[in-house]
């Protein structure tokens, strides 16, 4: 059942629902004693009779309460009321890594930072004898203070003498799943997990490798059209090299992720702490003022430049040899300018707005037909332009930094659309026609809603717009953006 706004669980007043999953429902609530906002996770009453789910719920409480780490979600309280068991956890402002990845890969600096924080949190859990078993982007929250590792609902307490203060709990607890049962989220599960085998800390290291790969490339390490093909890929295939998707990714990072994703657990990193140490080493500046990763990227660029220079020198020497063989000297000839025409689509005429993609390969423009403007895209290696459906009334197009999306104004809204087509997406109402925008690599769009007002900024995924500039109040001014 869903708890209504205003309902009470002990001293906690429900404010609203945050989400739901297989292991419970999560609500935002107010602690009436301490006047703070908290997150409450409840096991619904109709599932409380399930001994297996209830045992996992209680195990999550014990697992989280035993951990004290800045990048692991803090457990404040546990309770039981009216047949409902609940956990009270810290409430965090931010977004999940899964939500962030919908906008594409992360900058390498963020991959190293967040990856190191995740590895450090896993290392702390492993030292306490706890294996997470369900690490994935949806269980990682990105906050201003860094990552927070969430949801130990499938956590496994190690049953051995090395479990420290949890050894008594672990020894007293019976296994919750039989041999051959799959627990976790399939795209991030290790080979031993998909085969129904025993999961240990190295299984979490595999999952960490898949998350690092996805953060760096924007693609999952293992994919398949069905569960069977996905399991086959996990067991047999190697993911495409990271450098295929991110050419400037340094070899040291590729090696780290590859080691995390070794099929044989004995060939992987044996400690999450070691992974955290390697990621920290890649990101910490040296005495020269740059990180090992930055130095690797700089070397790669320098090597490319050296090869390009060598090739250019060879071509120059060949050209000189040909010229000497002809025993003739010719004065230099200036290269003529390149000219080409862009014709309006049939039965249409150009509007006033053009935008060239950052990679120089496509031209977006506005054309009017039957009294209505629309957005068109023409590849510069073709003579044909393509109209983008759903862009009626479009004005002032501008490109995303990766040349894959186009922002534009229509119906007094700021919108975006994929350059290859598809349904446009409204980012926010601006109340006026709009007068130009620009799209930063940091995922922020800055736009001018009018010619005589300030600039505004809005996340590329949409949301609430905020002023980015302020015009003087003593004399009139105009700001306008155009690419």
Structure-block tokens of residue 159 = 């049953």
What are the φ and ψ backbone dihedral angles of 470, each rounded to 5 degrees?
A: -140, 125
Element (H, E) at 355: strand 349-356
Active site residue 110: no
In angstroms and rounded to an integer, the radius of gyration of the C-alpha atoms of the chain is: 28
Q: Which of 31, 85, 134, 151 is catalytic?
A: 134
Structure-block tokens of residue 312 = 């250019």
Structure-block tokens of residue 443 = 């995922």
11 contacts: CB under 8 Å, gap ≥ 6: 31, 32, 33
* Count, residues in the chain: 483
In a 3-state reduction of DSSP, which class is residue 276?
helix
CB count within 10 Å of CB 363 equals 17
Structure-block tokens of residue 363 = 């031209």
CA distance 268 to 314: 44
What are the φ and ψ backbone dihedral angles of 46, each rounded to 5 degrees?
A: -75, -10
CA distance 56 to 176: 7
- Ranges of H-type helices in 261-291: 272-283
Beta pairing, strands 140-143 & 12-21: unpaired
- Ranges of H-type helices in 292-423: 292-325
CA distance 138 to 42: 18
- Known catalytic residues? 134
């Amino acid at each position: 059942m869903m708890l209504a706004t205003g309902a009470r669980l002990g001293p906690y007043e429900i404010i609203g629902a945050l989400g739901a999953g297989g292991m419970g429902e999560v609500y935002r609530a107010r602690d009436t004693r301490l006047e703070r906002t908290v997150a409450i996770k409840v096991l619904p009453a109709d599932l409380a009779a399930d001994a297996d789910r209830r045992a996992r719920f209680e195990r999550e409480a014990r697992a989280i309460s035993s951990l004290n780490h800045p990048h692991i979600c803090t457990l404040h309280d546990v309770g039981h009321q009216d047949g409902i068991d609940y956990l009270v956890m810290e409430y965090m402002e931010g977004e999940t890594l899964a939500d962030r990845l919908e906008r594409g890969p992360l900058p390498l600096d963020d991959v190293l930072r967040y990856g190191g924080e995740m590895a450090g949190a896993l290392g702390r859990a492993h030292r306490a004898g706890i294996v997470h078993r369900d690490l994935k982007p949806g269980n990682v929250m990105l906050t201003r203070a860094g990552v927070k590792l969430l949801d130990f609902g499938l956590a496994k307490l190690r049953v051995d003498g090395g479990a420290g203060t949890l050894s008594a709990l672990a020894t007293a607890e019976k296994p919750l799943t039989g041999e051959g049962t799959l627990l976790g989220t399939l795209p991030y599960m290790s080979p031993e997990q998909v085969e129904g085998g025993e999961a240990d800390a190295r299984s979490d290291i595999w999952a960490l490798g898949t998350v690092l790969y996805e953060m760096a490339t924007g693609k999952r390490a293992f994919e398949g059209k069905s569960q069977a093909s996905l399991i086959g890929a996990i067991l047999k295939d190697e993911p495409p090299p990271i450098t295929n998707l991110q050419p400037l990714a340094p070899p040291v990072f590729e090696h780290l992720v590859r080691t995390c994703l070794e099929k044989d657990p004995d060939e992987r990193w044996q400690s999450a702490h070691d992974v955290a140490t390697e990621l920290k080493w890649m990101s910490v500046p040296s005495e020269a003022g740059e990180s090992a990763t930055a130095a690797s990227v700089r070397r790669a660029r320098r090597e490319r430049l050296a090869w390009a220079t060598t090739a250019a020198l060879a071509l120059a020497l060949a050209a000189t040899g040909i010229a000497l063989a002809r025993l003739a000297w010719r004065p230099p000839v200036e290269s003529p300018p390149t000219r080409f025409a862009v014709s309006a689509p049939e039965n249409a005429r150009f509007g006033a707005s053009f935008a060239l993609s950052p990679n120089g390969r496509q031209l977006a423009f506005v054309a009017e037909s039957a009294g209505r403007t629309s957005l068109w895209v023409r590849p510069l290696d073709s003579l044909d332009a393509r109209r983008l459906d759903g862009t009626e009334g479009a004005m002032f197009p501008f490109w995303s930094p990766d040349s894959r999306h186009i922002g534009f104004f229509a119906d007094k809204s700021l919108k975006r659309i994929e350059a290859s087509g598809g349904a446009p997406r409204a980012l926010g109402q601006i109340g006026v026609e709009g007068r130009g925008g620009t799209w930063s690599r940091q995922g922020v769009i800055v736009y001018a809603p009018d010619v005589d007002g300030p600039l505004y900024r809005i996340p590329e995924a949409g949301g609430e717009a905020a002023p980015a500039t302020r015009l003087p109040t003593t004399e009139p001014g105009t700001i306008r953006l155009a690419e």
